[in-house]
Amino acid sequence: MLMVGPPGAGKSLLARCLPGILPELSFPEALEVTRIYSVAGLLPPDRPLMRQRPFRAPHHTISYAGMVGGGHGVPTPGEITLAHHGVLFLDELPEFDRKVLEALRQPLEDRRITVVRAGVAVTFPASFTLVGAMNPCPCGHLGDPLRPCRCRPHEIHRYRKRISGPFLDRVDLFVTLPRLTRQELLGDGTGEPSQAVRARVCTARARQQARYRRPGKTNAELGPQEIEHHCRLSPEGKRLLARAIDHFALTGRGYVRVLKVARTIADLEGAEEIAPQHLAEALQYRAPVEEPSGP
C-alpha cells in the first residue's frame, strides 16, 4: 500500500496501527519470526517466543545491505527479513535510495530474498506487508485547500520520478489522504476500534484458508491457474475490467493485482463471488495520483 497525503494527515499513525488489525501470529509463524530475530541477535532476553507481528520502520538513509541483508562472512538478515510475517513501513518513500527500493521488487513477488556475499549464498524468508508513505509534492501541500503548493511542475515530476514504474506496479493499494478537518482534530476520537476491524480480517482470512485448503494461505499468494479458478468475473464485471485495462493502462501484473484485491474485498463482505462493485472498489485503489499539468 502507498499512502499519499500532506504532512500531519496521519500516514505514519495509520501504518503503525496496521499490525493491530492483522490476525495474531500462528505458532508456526511465531517460530519463524523467533528464528529470524535469534539469528540477527535481536531476540529480547525476556521474550523467548515472538508472539507479535513485526513492525519495521527503517530510516530513509538505510543502506542496500541494511535493507536486504549482508555483512562480513555469513550474511545476516536485513529489514526485509526482519519484517517477515509483519509490516515494513517506509516513510518518505521518495527519499530512499533508488537502489534500495528496487531491491524490494523481487521479494515482493517471491516472498524470499537471496543474499550472496563472498561466495556464500543465503536465502531468507521475506513475506511482509509493504506500506509506503509520501507527500504529494516536495513541499507537501499539492491539492491542499488551505495551504497553497509552491512547487513547480517539473519539481513535482522529478520528486515522483524517484519511484520507478516497475516498483509502483507492485503496489496493490494507492490511498490518498486529505488534510484532517477541524472536526476530525477536535473530535472525541470515537470510531471503530481495531479489534472490530481485526475480527473482520480474521473472518476473511478463515474464508480464504477454507477455500484454498491450506493453513495460512491468502489471496496474495494465488498463482495464475488459481486466479483463473477463484477470481471469476460475471459478464458485467468483465466489461468493467476491459474498460479499466485501457483507462488505467493496466499491465499484466496490475491486472492480476486488481483481481486479488477484488477477491479480498468480496471476502471481507462475506461474498462468494466477485461482484462488479467489488471490482470497482479495487480499481479505485489501483490508479496512482496523476501528475500535474504544466511545463
Over residues 185-190, the mean pLDDT reads: 76
The percentage of the chain sitting over the pLDDT mark of 70, rounded to a whole number, equals: 97
Give the pLDDT of residue 33: 97
Q: Which residue has the cell 491542499?
A: 144
In 3-state terms, what secondary structure has residue 71?
Answer: coil
Q: What digits encode the pLDDT tens for the residues 97-122? A: 999 999 999 999 999 999 988 778 89
CATH number at residue 144: 3.40.50.300
> How many domains does the chain fold into?
2
CA angle 168, 291, 256 (to 5 degrees): 30
Please answer whether residues 39 and 211 qualify as being in contact, where contact means their C-beta atoms are separated by less than 8 angstroms: no
Higher per-residue confidence, 32 vs 47 = 32
Q: What is the pLDDT of residues 52-97, one digit of tens each?
A: 999 999 999 999 999 999 877 778 999 999 999 999 999 999 999 9
The answer to whether 274 and 229 have CB atoms below 8 angstroms apart is no
Residue 254 lies in a domain: yes
| Assigned domain for 118 exists | yes
How is residue 203 written as a grid cell? 473472518
What's the pTM?
0.91
Query: How much is the pLDDT for 70?
Result: 85
CATH of the domain at 241: 1.10.8
Average pLDDT over residues 158-185: 91
How are strands ordered across the β-sheet holding 129-134?
A: 55-56, 87-90, 129-134, 2-4, 174-176
